Amino acid sequence: MGKKISVIGAGSWGTALASVLSDNGHQVTIWSVDRAEVEMLNRDHEQKIKLPGVVLPDTARATDDLEEAVRGADLLVFAVPSPYVRETARKAAPYIADGQVIVNVAKGIEQSTLMTLVEVIGQEIPKANVCVLSGPSHAEEVGRRLPTTVVAGCADPEIAGMVQDVFMNGVFRVYSNDDVIGIELGGALKNVIALAAGIADGYGYGDNTRAALMTRGIAELCRLGVAMGGKIETFLGLSGIGDLIVTCSSRHSRNRRAGVLIGQGKSVSEAMEEVQQVVEGVYSARAALALARKYHVDIPIIDQVNAVLFDGKPVGEAVSDLLLRDRKAERD
């Protein structure tokens, strides 16, 4: 029996997940704050701007009425960009029922509070059961029904199992994991490493450099994530190294693409404008650095990314400083 599900956010990822949920026989409503976007989705059944070529079934519908989208839904999928999660959760809170399940699919850390997005939603809507869905999953490929594997994170195994059942099908496999903080940190911090990989590519460095950044980047994720209570196995799984690999190497990655543009000499604002979508790693970079200082963790790659992004440090100088640090053992 299909469920009544509302996807809050009509960007590329929200639309791709709406197509997965519709394939699975659920009654799907997509909410957008943009009336023109709603009209396009209802008229064309396609997100022509952000996810062209992915056609939604006639059964899926869109609305700009948040109360209509939220009330009575069996499950809510929060797919708004990380900077807008708190505001959206606050507006939705009056319409949420006790125990209503919310699945956060955005990736990021709130810069002002250093909270993960599940924590942000939980603070604004304490009556809800908030979970996370994450992993190596570009919307462009999910929308084309290419095989994809993700992980659902929830402290309650029954809710995690329900989320698995709702999303899983023959091309979209869902694992479960109770390490919510680890899953969220992996999804947020890998975007900063993807910026580093893109910057190196744009500057003209090669495969060796990218492999070094990815490998030592996952070491930084593990150090900070474990210090914050995550499990190292999570960072070596889908939401850690899996998401890191795809985000650092894929042509679909907006974080890598922004990094390439910065490596080629464009400013952060110019790169973000050209990408035309929210580049989550730019927002997460400062938060990651603040968290590392709070937990006394060494994260040299993320440190240098911040210096390039916000202090105008030349890319060549940043890479040189990484390579010329005091010698260390590979394992702590």
pLDDT one-digit tens code per residue, 260-273:
999 999 998 899 88
Quick one: tokens of 166? 């709702």
If one counts the domains in the chain, the total is: 2
% of the chain with per-residue pLDDT over 70: 99
Provide the 3-class DSSP secondary structure of residue 6: strand
- Check: CB of residue 104 under 8 Å from CB of residue 41: no
Last residue of a domain, one of 149, 178, 207: 178
328: in domain: no
Q: What is the pLDDT of residue 279?
A: 84
| Annotated catalytic residue 328 | no
Does 257 lie in the same domain as 220? yes
Looking at the structure, tell me whether residues 62 and 99 fall in a common domain.
yes
Taking only the tens place, the pLDDT of each residue in 7-56 is 999 999 999 999 999 999 999 999 999 999 999 999 999 999 999 999 99
The tens digit of pLDDT for each residue in 275-297 reads: 887 788 888 999 999 999 999 99
Tell me how far apart the 2 most distant CA atoms of the chain are, in Å.
60
Q: In this predicted structure, what is the pLDDT of residue 330?
A: 78
What does the mean pLDDT of the chain come to?
Answer: 94
Predicted pLDDT of residue 115: 96
* Per-residue confidence band for 217, with pLDDT thresholds at 50, 70 and 90: very high
For CA atoms 196, 233, 108, 244, give the dihedral sign.
positive
Whether the CB-CB separation of 185 and 116 falls below 8 Å is answered with yes
How would you class 7 by CB atoms within 10 Å of its CB: exposed for 0-12, middle for 13-18, buried for 19 or more?
Answer: buried
Domain span at 290: 181-323
Q: At what angle do helices 180-203 and 280-294 cross, to 10 degrees?
A: 120
From start to end of 16-119, where are the E strands? 27-31, 61-63, 75-78, 101-104
Nearest partner of 20 among 142, 105, 129, judged by Cα: 142
Strand, coil or helix: 224:
helix
**149: three-class secondary structure by DSSP:** strand
Same domain, 99 and 16: yes
Place of tokens 């390039």: 308
223 closest CA partner among 332, 303, 327, 116: 332
* CB neighbours of residue 331 within 10 Å: 5
Q: What are phi and psi of 125, to 5 degrees?
A: -130, 70
In tens, the pLDDT along 173-210 reads 999 999 999 999 999 999 999 999 999 999 999 999 99
Same domain, 143 and 218: no
Which domain-ending residue is among 155, 178, 201? Answer: 178
Q: What confidence tier does 299 reach under pLDDT thresholds 50, 70, 90?
A: very high
Q: Are both 139 and 38 inside the same structural domain?
A: yes
Domain boundary among 178, 198, 233: 178
What's the whole-model pTM score? Answer: 0.93
CATH code, 244: 1.10.1040.10
Query: Which residue in the list 190, 231, 266, 294 is annotated as catalytic?
Result: 190
Query: Cα angle vertex 76, ends 144, 177, to 5°?
Result: 75
